[in-house]
Structure formats: structure tokens, C-alpha cells
Amino acid sequence: MPAARVLVISEDDDVAGPLEALLKHAGYGVEVLDGREAVLAIAEPPPEILVLDRDLPSEIYEQILDRLAPAAGRTSCPLVILGGGVSPRLPQGWHEDAFAALPRPPQTGEILATISSLRRLVFYRRYRDLVHDLAQPVTTIHALSRSIARLRPEDEAARQAIERFAVEAERLMVLLETFQRARDPATS
């Protein structure tokens, strides 16, 4: 994946400075804002990657979360919260695969690996969501194909069309089941 732009929001120069240098060295485009600047700057679309220091004043931190809330759900960008603890406060509805909490200051390898893994999860989210969205229609088509296959067609062309529909519906169902089993080791 190509390098992305990272927005670092922190008022602690001892955290923001080294983090900016590290991310630039890793090839990311980096912008560092303090909390007040960030409240004004965060708009849609959200940054590609956001590193948010939990050590901001509570009022500013809450305002930033409120500004990010419209980008929640399937469009959630990678969000790394520094010093957020085990269960950090997130923007309402933030996607579960789009955030990580790290101690502050973050370790070099830890922040780079976290950003990389969050970017990968966000990249593949649309495929996981697509499979989830397709599950119900595929199941319905599969069930309909079995019902239609029991019909007695009037001619050979209709019979062949029904058989072909049943074969393709079965193939679609097998593809979906195979994909789901491959992603969930508990069902393998």
C-alpha cells in the first residue's frame, strides 16, 4: 500500500516531535496539530490515519471525538489513541477494526506495526462487508433454486435453464461457505 497522510493530534512536543520524525522517516506524510487546531481542522473526509493523544484536555478530546463521529461505521479511518488504556473513549459508532490504543509514548516498531495493520484491516473491510451483505441474498437464491428445480418444465430449453440456475446457485453458496470457513478457524 502506498504511504498515507497521518494527522497527529497532540499538545506534548515530547510525543509529537519524535512521532512526526519517525513517521516521516517511514515515508508517511505527517501533519501535527494541537487540540484546538484539530477541532477546527477535522472535517469530512477524515484524515487517512489519525494519531490522537489522550493527554489532551478532556473538553478538546471530546470535541475531536464529536467531529469524527460522522465518519464512523464503515468509513472509519485508522485511529491510534495514545494513552487511551484498554478501553479508550472512541467516536460514537467507530468501527471495531479501525482503532488501536497504545501506551504513550509509543514504541517505534509498535506504532508502525499498528498503523500498518489498521490500514490493512480498513483496506479489506469493504470485502468483509461485501461478503456479509451477500450472505442473505446468496442463501435466498440457493433456496429458490432448489424450489425451482422441483418444477416440471414444458420444454428442454426451460429444463436446461433451471438446471443451470441450480448449478450456479450451488456454486455461489459453496464459494460463500468456503470463504467464511477460511476466515473463521472455529468453523473449519
Q: What is the largest CA-CA distance in the chain?
A: 80
pLDDT higher than threshold 50 for residue 187: no
Q: Answer yes or no: are the C-beta atoms of 48 and 5 closer than 8 Å.
A: yes
Give tens-digit pLDDT for 42-68.
Answer: 765 667 888 989 888 888 888 888 888
pLDDT higher than threshold 70 for residue 185: no
Give tens-digit pLDDT for 110-127.
Answer: 888 988 888 888 777 777
- Cα four-point dihedral sign 26, 32, 105, 67: negative
Determine the pLDDT at residue 188. 40
Total-model pTM: 0.68
pLDDT higher than threshold 50 for residue 186: no
pLDDT higher than threshold 70 for residue 2: no
> Residues 165, 170, 172, 176: what is their CA dihedral angle, to the nearest 10 degrees?
160
- Bridge-based pairing of strands 79-82 and 5-9 is unpaired
Give tens-digit pLDDT for 31-47.
Answer: 898 888 888 777 656 67
pLDDT band at 20 (very low <50, low <70, confident <90, very high): very high
Determine the pLDDT at residue 45. 65
Find the range with the poorest average confidence among 88-97, 98-107, 143-152: 88-97
Q: How far apart are CA 75 and CA 126, in angstroms?
A: 9
pLDDT band at 25 (very low <50, low <70, confident <90, very high): very high
